[in-house]
Amino acid sequence: MIVIFLGVIGGLMISGFIGLFTGAIIVSLGYKLFVSWLNSDNTKSNQQLPATTASQLAES
């Protein structure tokens, strides 16, 4: 709820009456995307990469 309020106030200060609506929408969408990004399951970080040794790198 505080996110929407901040969007309303910021939008009003920047764009006037139209900013009341667009500010709240932009900030709430950005917040939702940020939270979903933090909660996403990153499969690359969960997979273990094969270990390479110095001798394997020297052979390449």
Mean per-residue pLDDT, 12-39: 90
Long-range contacts of 55-59 (CB under 8 A, 24+ apart): none
Mean per-residue pLDDT, 10-26: 90
Backbone angles phi, psi at 41, to 5 degrees: -90, 105
Domain boundaries, the chain: 1-37
User: Of residues 7 and 58, which shows the higher confidence score?
Assistant: 7
Among residues 20, 27, 19, 21, the alpha carbon closest in space to that of 1 is found at 27
Report the pLDDT value the prediction gives residue 32, as an integer from 0 to 100.
92
Report the pLDDT value the prediction gives residue 6, as an integer from 0 to 100.
85
The upper half-sphere exposure of residue 7, i.e. CA atoms within 13 Å in the direction of its Cβ, equals: 16
Whether pLDDT at 48 is above 90 = no
Instruction: Identify whether the C-beta of residue 24 lies closer than 8 Å to the C-beta of residue 32.
Output: no
Percent of the chain predicted with pLDDT > 90: 20
